[in-house]
Amino acid sequence: MKLKDKVCMVTGAASGIGREIALTFAREGGKVAIADLALDAARATAAQIAASGGLAMGVAMNVADEAQVNAGVAQVARAWGGVDVLVSNAGIQIVHPLEEFPFADWKKLLAIHLDGAFLTTRACLPHMYASGRGGSVIYMGSVHSKEASVLKAAYVTAKHGLIGLAKVVAKEGAKRGVRANVICPGFVRTPLVDKQIPEQAKALGISEAGVIKNVMLKETVDGEFTTTQDVAQIALLFAAFPSNALTGQSLVVSHGWFMQ
């Protein structure tokens, strides 16, 4: 029970990687707030956790909306007495060649990834400071926090930005025991990636199998997707790590696609 009684907020946890992190944290004794645009799906995950003896709640939240973020974090803190762990995970992907990238799509992607990370961090930090216990802030970066790919100007920019934010939170939070780190997964088979496969096939003029083999997994050491469970184990490590020894870091979990 590495997270016994810790209050954990995971954004974008109604699906994919966030959902797996929520399930993992609940198994480790955490009280898990599943914050997502998709409230019904968030509540379904919370019900699944409750059915296996854990504690969870679904929270309606657009992470790019200041008022919704503040209200959602306040709701969780009121219910469970604070917030100990934040996983800022909600994200989307939009691909276009740079010279055609619609400004509205650029702004939408940056708002969800960067405004969302900023707003949720700003709302959770006072609770971590007030408790005297500190806390752990975890950002869902990507190999694209370190590397670039064609068609992904907005995503690569946003994911690089999260590393800067984590370093500032690590410095500002240290005195009060708040740590901040970034997880950088390679491709994980979730709805976000399933949507990209036909889009990239069309944009690059190759088959869908070709996108998987020659674009997504080409640089891995073994041609394998990273799994949601792989990423959830790294999130658990960062969430439960007990000191400032591990802060301001970014850890790549990608079957060797990117090596530091």
Give the interface with ligand NAD as residue ranges (CB under 6 A).
Answer: 11-12, 14-18, 36-38, 61-64, 89-92, 112, 140, 142, 185, 187-188, 190-193
Q: Considering beta carbons, is residue 130 or 150 the nearer one to ligand NAD?
A: 150
Q: Considering beta carbons, is residue 187 or 258 the nearer one to ligand NAD?
A: 187
Q: What is the closest distance, in whole angstroms, from the C-beta atom of residue 78 to ligand NAD in the complex?
A: 20
User: Do residues 167 and 190 touch, judged by C-beta distance below 8 A?
Assistant: no
Q: Considering beta carbons, is residue 27 or 255 the nearer one to ligand NAD?
A: 255
Instruction: Given the residues 25, 80, 155, 258, select the one marked as catalytic.
Output: 155
Q: Considering beta carbons, is residue 114 or 128 the nearer one to ligand NAD?
A: 114
List the structure tokens of 202: 């069309």
Q: What is the closest distance, in whole angstroms, from the C-beta atom of residue 187 to ligand NAD in the complex?
A: 4
Selection from 248, 225, 251 nearest residue 236 by Cα: 251
List the structure tokens of 210: 């070709």
Active site residue 155: yes
Q: What is the closest distance, in whole angstroms, from the C-beta atom of residue 55 to ligand NAD in the complex?
A: 20
Q: What is the closest distance, in whole angstroms, from the C-beta atom of residue 73 to ligand NAD in the complex?
A: 13
Q: Active-site residues: which are they?
A: 155
